A = this chain, B = another copy of it.
């Protein structure tokens, strides 16, 4: 039986608590946050106990910091001033790792603390203890800055996939695949809005592709501000590199270089098709398009026929996007599933399939 202190009882902290209990109900989970949040977490059975102040924690075996990055940085300092158990494990859950590791190394340099940077790559646009979900991290990547069998065993109930990355590498990678794209999306939205002041129909004619590209512009601005502030160099590097890319395609357009422009799009298409974007390296774009009559129950009929096949998405296309047609767009995990589904629909209905 271990004593686990979770500092920060929001969506992440609460979900971690639930996940730990799933495989280790014997561990005692102590929570620390604002008083009313603590009480709520206890009432909901998410934590076993709480502490009124961050002190007297020398019996704690594992401390999990599930707070925003800036709060985490501060609490690391506080913890370093306290009497802690020998070889206590301390870990965090922040979206960037370099700053946190720097701070941890500094404050704990002469202490018997095992600090492991952590980043469970899952979340929600919801927040708060009430949104806690034992399945939040199911199949998600959980980055750790080093292996630790004890910590990974404690967190086994999260059903996450642990991946070991040094802090700088983590921040560069997330800078490219997560942080910079958020900047891109928000910039495109603002550019279009600006343009719509002189060209009002911009808003009406934005099609599905535009919507897909800008969805992440709705992410939480407080969190993303903290992310940008804590990972400036890789992000600035990606912005600079991207501007170079834009210069290159601009030149090809100015020179009317048809071959080069086609090559640009061909390359992008090929890479994107080959990109393994899911955990488990399952490409995601096995889509079937089914033209269905506009009748009640038609979608249910199609799904009932496909009950034994793993579907990942069903899109009901009523709008007409410039790059999609067909009224029911069903996504499968594998080509095999798609072929089987197509056979079934073509056999059992007269709906047109593409």
User: Which positions in A face B, CB cutoff 8 Å?
Assistant: 121-126, 131, 133, 135-141, 163, 165, 169, 172-174, 176-178, 180-193, 195, 199, 201-219, 221-222, 224-225, 228-229, 232, 235-236, 238-243, 245-246, 249-250, 253-254, 256, 258, 261-262, 264-269, 271-273, 275-279, 281, 284-285, 289, 291, 296-297, 299-300, 303-304, 307, 311-316, 318-327, 352, 354
Contact = CB atoms under 8 A, between A and B. Distances in A.
Contacts of A185: 209, 213, 268
Given A201-B163, A219-B269, A323 B123 contact: yes
A300 B307 contact: yes
A206 B186 contact: no
A240 to B, nearest CB: 8
Contacts of A187: 242, 245-246, 249, 268
Nearest to A138: B320
Contact of A321 (B122, B191, B267, B318): B122
B296 A307 contact: yes
A204 B141 contact: yes
Given A126-B354, A176-B192, A186-B264, 16 more contacts: A122-B322, A133-B352, A141-B205, A163-B204, A177-B192, A177-B206, A178-B322, A181-B188, A183-B249, A203-B277, A229-B253, A232-B253, A236-B250, A242-B246, A303-B303, A311-B316
Q: How many copies does the complex hold?
A: 2
A239 B228 contact: no
18 contacts: A122-B322, A123-B324, A136-B320, A138-B320, A139-B319, A141-B205, A176-B191, A176-B199, A191-B238, A206-B277, A212-B215, A216-B323, A218-B285, A219-B269, A221-B266, A239-B250, A242-B246, A299-B303
Contacts of A279: 204, 319-320
Contacts of A327: 135
B225 A261 contact: yes
Given A126-B354, A218-B285, A300 B303 contact: yes
B272 A189 contact: yes
